[in-house]
Amino acid sequence: MRRAQVVLASAQGARVPDIARRLYFSEARVRTTIKSFNDQGLAALAPKYGVGRPPKFSEEQRSLIIETALCPPGLLGQPFTRWSLEKLRDFLRRERIISSISLETLRQMLKGAKVKLRRTKTWKECNDPKLASKKN
């Protein structure tokens, strides 16, 4: 909206210093806005949203991380049956798939791929020989 105000004021014959003072812009910004409008037309008035931070991991790395998470740890020579976030992160670092990754980033990446890591449930069995009779 403010870029449109600059163009409108310029079309009405206002000078750059006056426009800058009235709209609280620098004179350089007013000149840039007018030049952009002259070069691009109405497209220069469209919102210019930032694209954000570039991704830290390539698509190849992401697919390799997800593939590793879906693979049973035993097939990769690991002495456990399920991945935890910590174990997966340590394995990825050790195998040099990635140099570093936070647990939260790893969790979000797996969540985005709909991969769920479940905790291993442990239990202890009773060694009492009379357990069956006590249950009944």
Full-model pTM: 0.54
Q: Are residues 69 and 105 in the same domain?
A: yes
Are 109 and 65 a contacting pair, CB within 8 Å? yes
Tell me what the pLDDT averaged over the chain comes to: 89
Backbone dihedral angles phi then psi of residue 128, each to the nearest 5 degrees: -75, 120
The larger pLDDT score, comparing residue 136 to residue 52, is at 52
pLDDT-based confidence at residue 4 (cuts at 50, 70, 90): very high
Q: Are residues 37 and 63 in the same domain?
A: no
Amino acid at 15: R
Please report the pLDDT score of residue 117 as a whole number.
83
Domain that holds residue 6: 2-45
Are 26 and 19 a contacting pair, CB within 8 Å? no
H-type helices in 12-130, by residue range?
16-23, 27-40, 59-70, 85-94, 103-112
Please report the pLDDT score of residue 38 as a whole number.
92
pLDDT-based confidence at residue 127 (cuts at 50, 70, 90): confident
Q: Are residues 104 and 68 in the same domain?
A: yes
pLDDT-based confidence at residue 120 (cuts at 50, 70, 90): low
